[in-house]
Amino acid sequence: MEKQYKKLLKDILENGEKKSDRTGTGTISVFGRTIRHNMKNGFPLLTTKKMHMKSIMTELKWFLKGDTNIKYLVDNDCNIWNGDYEKSGRTDGDLGAIYGKQWRDCNGIDQIAELINGLKKNPDSRRHIVSAWNVGELDQMTLPPCHYAFQCYVNNGKLSLMWNQRSVDTFLGLPYNIASYGMLLLLLCEETGYLPSELIGSLGDVHLYSNHIEQAKLQLTREPYDLPTVKLSNVDVLRGDFDYELMNYKSHPKIKALLSN
């Protein structure tokens, strides 16, 4: 997985075209890329820079709870949505009809509950899809979903997950997305009894912000360590609750970079 991630960084640096963006930062960008990871090879948390696992897991719990208020994140030392909230001009703490709302109450449908039920009762279905791209509510969102849908696939008692992402902040955001959907796959396996198989990312506008280029070059000089593993307990997906233990995680030092909002 990490070799694919580094290959993606190199691809953008060598082939990316300059593009403007809503943040005004500027990017170099390529379009239409795929990454794949077999979960038997370890938990997909990058080792070529130190990752803040707690923030990733806090945000995932927040999504699964159907929560859209920034208070839960801030109370749990997760600040990745602070900039978007401040830029929104809101004062009630709410970020609008974003991921959690769509996952758990999309036009009255609890998509996560429906997904788990479908995986158990009709594993061969081709409709195991959860979408956060609710066209009728995009104007109610602080930020339209970047990772806008995911699909699950069952074969021979194994569960795979593919997520679709329209906009990919490759240096800061994508490593979080990879680990988040990797954990979601493991959680769904806990709920359904399937074994974890492949994690796949289908990526649209894959970019590096102009102020992340030197950081990406530094990361490319680092050799990956073996991936860690995860031990789960007290899993209740529909309550957005789970405990985890990250084991044997060895990484290179953190690489600082500004988040563009």
Q: Residue ranges per domain, the chain?
A: 2-247
Q: What is the pLDDT, as a whole number, of residue 87?
A: 86
Give CA–CA dist 160/162, Å, rounded.
Answer: 7
Mark whether 189 is an active-site residue: no
Q: pLDDT confidence of 46, banded at 50, 70, 90?
A: very high
Evaluate if residue 28 carries a pLDDT over 90. yes
CATH topology of domain 2-247: Thymidylate Synthase; Chain A (3.30.572)
Q: Where is pLDDT greater, at 150 or 24?
A: 150
Pick from 143, 71, 72, 136: which is nearest to 108 by CA?
136
Instruction: Using the CB atoms, write b or e for 62-83: b if 16+ within 10 Å.
Output: bbbbbbbebebbeeeebebbee
Q: pLDDT confidence of 89, banded at 50, 70, 90?
A: confident
- Which residue in the list 78, 106, 146, 189 is annotated as catalytic? 146
Q: What is the pLDDT, as a whole number, of residue 259?
A: 86
Q: What is the pLDDT of residues 230-256, one digit of tens each?
A: 999 999 999 999 999 999 999 999 999
Q: What is the pLDDT of residues 136-189, one digit of tens each?
A: 999 999 999 999 999 999 999 999 999 999 999 999 999 999 999 999 999 999
